[in-house]
Structure 1
């Protein structure tokens, strides 16, 4: 048996460029304090902490959480590449749903360096080597381009080859992201962009230009989860519940089909979304707002189809019709997404959670999707992991 899991509080601190932020322990502590204050829960009542980060030494979670107090609470450190924050959320939800705990904190933070992601431990096998080998066999390698851009740019190329998608279609996603971000005080990049500006920015890996790639940033985000019984006992907000959640990793199709979309997680996302829809008894047509993993415009485009928001091969028309923004079928990334907020790897999934909770509470200000009672989150990490979460307003 599983119990309902409520999101009692969320917190996020504005993301910052590398070199312009606090050290990671303070990033994590500030985000955790914000979530606890939002939930109106004292840290003494937290029974478990799941702390997510990618770039940091062992027990970085403790270094952050000890700023809140020394209660002896279990602190579990989580690292799952770009899906780290939502993996911490997944574990925290399981703890509540199973009855192992009544009130749990999920925390994500990251202090990143400038430039493209790279290998930090060159003296041992690279865990992404199988992905690099598959990319090499499928499209070759460009020594001048960042690896992540080659992976996701290759997915965009595959969509272009299969469906005739035009380069400008990807660029329109960046324009939409900035249009949404202008209303988000937590986003780094809030100035609107034109299609010409996006297309004219320096090329990174065709079809991607620089303004179609999310920047590395530093930041923190957190969520307090609890059971219904705990919330009622302590007078907490019961308005948002995690209605369904699924986590997937790679299957054979990621490597065996010479499809760059699947190599970067298309099937992981598709399978996770289907599990969520089935568990909740809904379909993608019922979703009014989504925060999805737009590390590159190409990934946002293929994710429309993976989540069923657009039919396979239909993402270009979906974008052309304005169905990915206000006034269309579903508002995607009302926060501005990773393209505008930045992407502090460990914090991203919990920042998505925060945005969707604000949307369901009606607290998103000028970003508000009117009448939203369901919200879907998609957080992806090549390597690989994908977490899809459905939130509902009770």
Structure 2
């Protein structure tokens, strides 16, 4: 991944994308010619931005797909690339995500002559809490926080503790947009945005890019990459169920149900227990989403997020380290790049290459990337070729050598 920076303070998207792709190819020690298919993710941009990025690296005539799945775009590109390899359609695929964002709060529904893609979600928000003036995203997640707090007794202090943790982690990440540790008091006293959310509990808009090379097991062996290989042992992409529009719940509107559904499928298919997860990159667009998502990912029991936070079981020395990168709150959130940046962080953690923020003895990592409207990707990673704790059976019944590798 590139450094994540404040919008319009760095490079244009072609240069950012090129930088990330070159990093990924150099890491794999291979030329672009080896890549057989590529999936490019971005939210803001015209058609064929993926070609604009990749043509700088090489014009080899390969299939290039351009995808947009809101804030889950980067992980959706990764998911598609994984399917191409796992399905036996190619032995080497690339996923790249990039974003050049406008300064200020995220704006949805920029086209005035057509339906807003989240208009039905907005209707539920209006029915539950009434839509207020100002940015809409904090209203989604601020109102969801209020619902969770009322239901389970969590407090604003818990949100501040999450944000303080992520700012602390981010201060040790040289690629993070915000590298300043903040105290709980500073976070609580920062400007109120919506409901219980303060400015320092919200992710910033960002520019940046990230990329990954995915290979079949056969190709990993062929190119001598066994020592570097990180395996995606399971990955689930889920979307909203009809309950989002039947039940008046802000937690459902922001994707709790689809997160829980994807996580449940993933743990069942891989045989991995939530208790075995060492490190998590979780979509903390707002501190409230991290708090609510602990349960969806089965990192704690129902209603136990406050207890989980107070015990510091979400950081170094606890049960699992969540967002050692600083998460979206500190690292930044360039929409199309976020999911692939999570992938990069987990790869570095599982290789033992994360420097000051290294999670000791990390063996299994979990990724969670969410987009309202909606889509969520949840994935489990482990070091390839070294661990055989679980008997993972490929779901498509193809031979072992086409299971997806990073």
Deviation string for 1:370-391 (max 9, x for gaps)? Answer: 1111000000000100000100
> Deviation at 1:159?
0.5
1:46 aligns with 2:64: no
Alignment correspondent of 1:7: none
Q: TM-score, normalised by structure 2?
A: 0.93
> Deviation at 1:168?
1.1
Deviation string for 1:346-372 (max 9, x for gaps)? Answer: 000000000000000010111111111
Alignment correspondent of 1:34: 23
**Cα distance between partner residues in 1 of 2:149 and 2:223:** 53
How many residue pairs align between the two structures? 382
Correspondence for 2:72 among 83, 90, 99:
83
Correspondence for 1:300 among 290, 297, 301:
290
Correspondence for 2:111 among 110, 114, 121:
121
Alignment correspondent of 1:276: 266
SS of alignment partner, residue 55 of structure 2: helix
Question: Contact (CA 8 Å) 2:233, 2:381: kept in 1 or not?
Answer: yes
1:348 aligns with 2:331: no
Question: Contact (CA 8 Å) 2:166, 2:323: kept in 1 or not?
Answer: yes
1:331 aligns with 2:328: no
**Cα distance between partner residues in 2 of 1:75 and 1:26:** 18
Matches within 5 A, 1:152-167: 152-167=141-156
Query: CA-atom RMSD, angstroms?
Result: 0.8
1:319 aligns with 2:305: no
Alignment correspondent of 1:132: 122
Correspondence for 2:183 among 191, 194, 204:
194
1:56 aligns with 2:56: no
Alignment correspondent of 1:248: 238
SS of alignment partner, residue 56 of structure 2: helix
**Cα distance between partner residues in 2 of 1:151 and 1:221:** 27
**Cα distance between partner residues in 2 of 1:44 and 1:239:** 20
Correspondence for 1:68 among 57, 62, 80:
57
> Deviation at 1:239?
3.2
1:97 aligns with 2:86: yes
Question: Contact (CA 8 Å) 2:220, 2:229: kept in 1 or not?
Answer: no
Alignment correspondent of 1:142: 132
**Cα distance between partner residues in 2 of 1:120 and 1:64:** 24
SS of alignment partner, residue 154 of structure 1: helix
SS of alignment partner, residue 23 of structure 2: helix
**Cα distance between partner residues in 2 of 1:183 and 1:116:** 26
1:390 aligns with 2:380: yes
SS of alignment partner, residue 54 of structure 1: coil
The structure 1 segments of at least 4 consecutive aligned residues displaced by more than 6 Å after TM superposition are: none
Q: TM-score, normalised by structure 1?
A: 0.96
Alignment correspondent of 2:394: none
**Cα distance between partner residues in 1 of 2:272 and 2:4:** 34
